[in-house]
Structure 1
Amino acid sequence: MSGVEVIRSSALKGVPHGFLGRRGGVSQGVVAGLNVGWGSDDDRAAITENRRRAVESVLPGARLVTVHQVHSSDVVEAGDWPDDDRPHADALVTNKAGILLGILTADCAPVLYVDREAGVIGAAHSGWRGAVAGVNEATVTAMERLGARRDRIAAAIGPAIAARNYEVDHGFEERFLSLDPANERFFTEGPAGKPHFDLEAYIVARLAAAGVRKVEALGLDTYADSDRFYSFRRATHRREPDYGRQASLIGLPA
């Protein structure tokens, strides 16, 4: 693979950011490409090089900060911790230059945020558990503590599993309907008679309800595009022994 593919959002235009996939990395085998996940069984040297390439493709010279993601609604302010001692959380915020916030995904939705006027950014790992628990709303609140205003915040939702490939069971659907009957609009019946969930649309609706006025959903399906993105569900269906993680990054230039 040659250069790193950097997917950008018009909502975040002018702010160093990128939704990355698997193109442009050095990993081999089932995780071939730009795998940045320490949780995979990939060679650590390859992951390190991939992370370096990821940073250089978005904000050269920046310090990459990630968390140990646990499908929670917990948000932390970016700090100077080592990769082997990352806090357990699913979102980060900062108002400091030279820091690149990083979220890792393989079907869950990465959401990047900015309030340009305040100089505050955020990044959230938003699978269904985190989305239901309020990780995106919590990220907006954490940004406000640093001086942001939610009516000025722009957000972009990167590559995630699309509804057409996100089959769930009826118990999953009922869980959402018990929280709010209006959640029915995020489910459709699939060809096998089981419900399919639209994670991206659910996040958009939650952010709009929280007062975020500008949200761009990129509509990129991790499951469907095996040459471009890693997907936990696809790897599971193929009975592959491992799966990679892609990075979504946002930073403030020094």
Structure 2
Amino acid sequence: MADWHWQTWQGQDFLTCDLLKPWSHGFFTRQFWPQTPDVLTATLAANAVVQRVKQVHGNRVLAPADLPTTDRAMPKAEADGLLSDRAHQALWVCSADCSPVLIGDRATGQVAAVHAGWRGTAQAIVPVAVGKLQAQGSRLKDLVVAIGPAIAGEVYQVSVEVAAAVGRTLVSDATSDDESVVKALLEEESSPLLEDGTLGKVRLDVRQANAWQLDQLGLGRDQVAIAPHCTFQEPDRFFSYRRTGEKQVQWSGIVSRALTD
């Protein structure tokens, strides 16, 4: 199991993961709000080029070459994931309860950053990002993935329909009805679904669903780490839309590197 560590910048804490140690990266807390990646990138790398998108809860993953312009006056491209195509690019995603996922390639130094809520996870956004990395030369055995602070399954109540939408990415028979998909997953060991006492409801751990998707791709357990922090249950550290209904976010970023860095 990978270790996670709190780092401090200007008296404020952010989280790092040993799996991503070769890269400058961080999962930032609510204390950094309302600072944006244009400011936060200085925490990670002085001269990195900031890359971000307008998140829309989909599964579109872009490379910097796909982005229209660096002009701040222009609208940002709509997507929920970014991958680097050269060194010294700082890729950023924001989240409140959704899973921020940072990926590094140990052989090339390239990285990806993904915003994976239940909608994006139901559309397999993390496997999409992995596929894009593979298309530019990555091998599964070289990838490491850190899933940052997000809402934990034990406190994330969703409808059976939502749970089934995510569950269909994890079961062999995706054509089954919603109840059958949920029932099959509830019977699995270490399932991303948990029982809920309310009729028509179930508990969903989106972090674990993403880890399952990565396992199905062929990544080993030693290649994936999940942060031991819940945005809903730790109000001093994290914003949580489910807890407050307020649209405030924390940022997560990673900087691509040359192998000589």
Name the SS of the counterpart of 1:85 in structure 2. coil
The structure 2 residue matched to 1:165, chosen from 144, 155, 175, is 155
Task: Tell me how far 1:176 sits from its aligned partner.
Answer: 4.5
Q: Contact conserved, 2:37 with 2:92, CA < 8 A, in 1?
A: no
Q: Contact conserved, 1:154 with 1:215, CA < 8 A, in 2?
A: yes
The structure 1 residue matched to 2:194, chosen from 184, 188, 194, is 188
- Structure 2: where are the runs of 5+ without partners? 1-8, 172-180
- Structure 1: where are the runs of 5+ without partners? 26-33, 36-46, 237-241
- Equivalent residue, structure 2, for 1:64: 50
- Equivalent residue, structure 2, for 1:3: 11
The percent of aligned pairs where both chains have the same amino acid is 28
Task: Tell me how far 1:253 sits from its aligned partner.
Answer: 4.4
**CA separation of 1:131 and 1:82: change in aligned 2, threshold 3 A:** farther
Distance 2:84 2:37 in 1: 20
Name the SS of the counterpart of 2:229 in structure 1. coil
Task: Tell me how far 1:77 sits from its aligned partner.
Answer: 0.4
**CA separation of 1:124 and 1:227: change in aligned 2, threshold 3 A:** same
Task: Tell me how far 1:129 sits from its aligned partner.
Answer: 1.0
Q: Contact conserved, 1:103 with 1:125, CA < 8 A, in 2?
A: yes
Task: Tell me how far 1:233 sits from its aligned partner.
Answer: 0.9
**CA separation of 1:97 and 1:177: change in aligned 2, threshold 3 A:** closer
- Equivalent residue, structure 2, for 1:243: 247
- Equivalent residue, structure 1, for 2:230: 221
Matches within 5 A, 1:30-45: 34-35=33-34
Q: Contact conserved, 1:104 with 1:110, CA < 8 A, in 2?
A: yes
RMSD between aligned alpha carbons? Answer: 2.1
AA paired with 1:137? P
**CA separation of 1:245 and 1:176: change in aligned 2, threshold 3 A:** closer
Name the SS of the counterpart of 2:140 in structure 1. coil
Matches within 5 A, 1:119-134: 119-134=109-124
Q: Which moved more, 1:167-176 or 1:98-107?
A: 167-176
- Deviations along 1:215-237, whole A, 9 cap, x unmatched? 1111210111111111111112x
- Equivalent residue, structure 1, for 2:60: 74
Q: Which moved more, 1:226-235 or 1:177-186?
A: 177-186
- Equivalent residue, structure 2, for 1:99: 89
Task: Tell me how far 1:146 sits from its aligned partner.
Answer: 2.0
Matches within 5 A, 1:176-215: 176=166, 180=171, 181=181, 182-184=184-186, 185-190=191-196, 192=198, 194-213=201-220, 214-215=223-224
- Equivalent residue, structure 2, for 1:144: 134
TM-score by length of 2: 0.79
- Deviations along 1:87-140, whole A, 9 cap, x unmatched? 111111113122100011011001000112112111111011111111101101
Q: Contact conserved, 2:109 with 2:257, CA < 8 A, in 1?
A: no
**CA separation of 1:227 and 1:113: change in aligned 2, threshold 3 A:** same
Q: Contact conserved, 1:6 with 1:57, CA < 8 A, in 2?
A: no
**CA separation of 1:91 and 1:178: change in aligned 2, threshold 3 A:** closer
Name the SS of the counterpart of 1:234 in structure 2. helix
Q: Contact conserved, 1:120 with 1:146, CA < 8 A, in 2?
A: no
Name the SS of the counterpart of 2:203 in structure 1. strand
Q: Contact conserved, 2:55 with 2:78, CA < 8 A, in 1?
A: yes
**CA separation of 1:243 and 1:134: change in aligned 2, threshold 3 A:** same
Distance 1:166 1:195 in 2: 8
